[in-house]
Amino acid sequence: MKDTQIKKLIEAEKKRQKRVINLIASENYVSKDVLEALGSELTNKYAEGYSGKRYYGGQTFVDKIEDLCKERALKLFGLNSKKWAVNVQPLSGSPANLAVYLALVPKEGKIMGMSLDHGGHLTHGHKVSATGKFWIQVPYGVNKNTEQIDYEEIKKIAIAEKPDIIVAGYTAYPRKVDFKKFREIVDSIKHTDPNKKTYLMVDMSHFAGLVAGKALPSPFDYADVVTTTVHKTLRGPRSAMIFSKIDSREINKKIDKAVFPGLQGGPHINQIAAVAVALKEADTAVFKKYAKQIIKNADTLAKELKKLGWKIISGGTDTHLILMDTWMEGKGISGKEASDVLEKNGIIVNKNTIPNETRSPMDPSGIRLGTAAETTRGKKEKDFVLIARKIDKILRSH
């Protein structure tokens, strides 16, 4: 690279990534093949539209790449192309979620999603996000005592509010989600207007790799729409996909229109090629083993931290992530301080609010830990026992 300034910074970041213990729950380390596809000449190509229906010439190979990516996405999650469609053009998770609402939720309609401080994502209707400005959020949270989803409570809210869409799947919720129960909740909503319908959307951004690796239950038997980022547990490039059921309302066609021309121009074909590479990598026995190891490692980390006296939200984890209450009602250390002091000692985490947060989002009561990135680097349970002890030592000596 001739640009020495950028080259140096990339080299420095590469070294930083190698040096630290990375416990950011939404990050991972992609393969060389994924990087190669991302950095290829495909970035030169404009391809507005969809395969076979583009607005520019020269699409012979681009169409093949996008078709292959879609085929691999459906295959990875065991989906029949007559029953499910997939759009692989969203640039990232937030625009993917926005596209679904644009397609399925009427103006000023209701999005029922988990509130941010209980573990939901900004794009589940939070007021600072476009999704909370154009639509109305009906928030739900976790049970105060169990710190887990309370399906009865959600049912009550859903029946009273009759939202246009219910979003399941979160950013900072460490437990398995019961998609069947969500389906039952959606089906129990009775609209007086026969044209109205409540859709069930699962945002599996965080745990897509765990579903792909058959380490967590799949949402596809119950959801109408499934969105996901590709860059977390699925270990692909920064990108997103939207899966939709092919039904009489043609929601897949509405979603395609919402992505392009509704929200985007030309798709990033280099990114789509890199997604295709990651999907093939995820469709292997090695990846299945990896997905199971992620969960074993998270479980070990949570149990060890608990043993050392720290409060783990909901009492543990079923996934790749752990929400740790570092503040412990003033007996511990704030989330910001914890994150800062851990970084000084080579452990990278993110500060995070906890359910029923009493502090501010910039200096909350907790931190979020994830095991996907370090599991990619080959770490096992015994390594996570040592990581837990290191975290404990650093936080207590602060």
Question: Which residues are annotated as part of the binding site for (6S)-5,6,7,8-tetrahydrofolate?
Answer: 116, 120-122
Tokens 């699409």 appear where?
A: 59
Of 111 and 333, the one with the shorter C-beta distance to ligand PLP is: 111
Which residue out of 162, 181, 197, 238 is catalytically annotated? Answer: 238
Smallest separation, CB 242 to ligand PLP (Å): 12
Which residue out of 27, 48, 161, 178 is catalytically annotated? Answer: 48
Smallest separation, CB 241 to ligand PLP (Å): 11
Of 22 and 205, the one with the shorter C-beta distance to ligand PLP is: 205
Of 229 and 352, the one with the shorter C-beta distance to ligand PLP is: 229
Smallest separation, CB 131 to ligand PLP (Å): 10
> Which of these, 318, 302, 298, lies nearest to 310 by C-alpha position?
302
Smallest separation, CB 238 to ligand PLP (Å): 6
Q: Is 46 a catalytic residue?
A: yes
In DSSP notation, 304-338 reads HHHHTTPEEGGGS-SSSEEEEESSGGGTS--HHHH
> Which of these, 213, 161, 170, 218, lies nearest to 188 by C-alpha position?
161
- Identify whether the C-beta of residue 142 lies closer than 8 Å to the C-beta of residue 118: yes
Q: Is 53 a catalytic residue?
A: no
- Identify whether the C-beta of residue 374 lies closer than 8 Å to the C-beta of residue 21: yes
Q: Is 66 a catalytic residue?
A: no
d(CA 50, CA 90): 12
Strand ranges (DSSP E) for the chain? 21-22, 49-50, 53-54, 84-87, 110-114, 136-140, 165-168, 199-203, 225-229, 240-245, 311-312, 321-325, 347-348, 350-352, 366-370
Catalog residues that contact ligand PLP under the rule CB under 6 A. Answer: 26, 92-94, 97, 121, 123, 169-171, 203, 205-206, 229
- The Cα-based distances of 120 to 135, 142, 351 in angstroms read 16, 10, 15
Which residue out of 110, 232, 235, 336 is catalytically annotated? Answer: 232
Q: Is 16 a catalytic residue?
A: no
Q: Is 232 a catalytic residue?
A: yes
Closest-by-Cβ residue to ligand PLP is 93
In single-letter form, the type of residue at position 266 comes to G
Binding site: residue ranges?
116, 120-122
Of 291 and 388, the one with the shorter C-beta distance to ligand PLP is: 291
Q: Which residues are catalytic?
A: 46, 48, 203, 229, 232, 238
